[in-house]
Each structure stands twice: as C-alpha cells, then as structure tokens.
Structure 1
Amino acid sequence: MLRVTKAKTTPGQKFGKAAFLNAAKKTNERLLLQVLLKDGTTYTKEEVTKLVEDWKKKEVKA
C-alpha cells in the first residue's frame, strides 16, 4: 500500500499527507488516507501503516 517514492528512503523518513495520497494505488486507499491523515503533519511509513491498521480494527458503531 504505502509506496511513497521510487527513490530510496531512509528509515524514519517523514512525508506529508500529499506524498501518501499520491502514492496510494487505489481510490479506496486514497480516500482512507485523506480521512486519517492531517494536513500539515508529517508521518513515517510505519506511522501511517499503524494508523490504517488501527482504523481497520475499530468496532463499527450502529
């Protein structure tokens, strides 16, 4: 899912919301990242992966 750039990245390197949105392969991934990530905040790939995993584990409220 989180293919940020073709260039090599270093561990712990942070990227903005736009980089993750541009890297999303599918529309549903892009929509999820649009909702979860905050504008003006940078994230590591690991942080975004954890945010997405935690969101997917959340209980659905009826």
Structure 2
Amino acid sequence: VSGVDLARRLKTVHPSLPVVLTTGYSGETLDDPEEAQAWPILRKPFRAEQLSAVVRQAAAAA
C-alpha cells in the first residue's frame, strides 16, 4: 500500500485526520486536485524546521 492509498483509507474512517505526505521523488504529484490542495507533499531530504512547519499547517487546517 502506498502512502497515498493509506491516507485515502484513513480519511474514510477519520475524515478530519490531517495528512502530510513525504516523498523521495521530485516529480511525484497527486492526481486528485482536492487531495493535492489538502495534502501537502514534503520532498526528501527535508529539514526538521520544514517538517515542523508543514505539520503545524496541516493540523491547523484540519
């Protein structure tokens, strides 16, 4: 199961769950425009400050 598939499954059970995706592939995107807007993708490598900021943003939006 990919991270995107897992996020989709979890959102059906817990719709308010904040989602942050990480990837090592620079060109990876989400096909669904709603998911792309709601689920930030943090590209590896990332700094702790970047992770902290995106987690705060996702939690605030939830």
TM range (shorter): 0.3 to 0.5
TM-score scaled by length of structure 2: 0.34
TM-score scaled by length of structure 1: 0.34
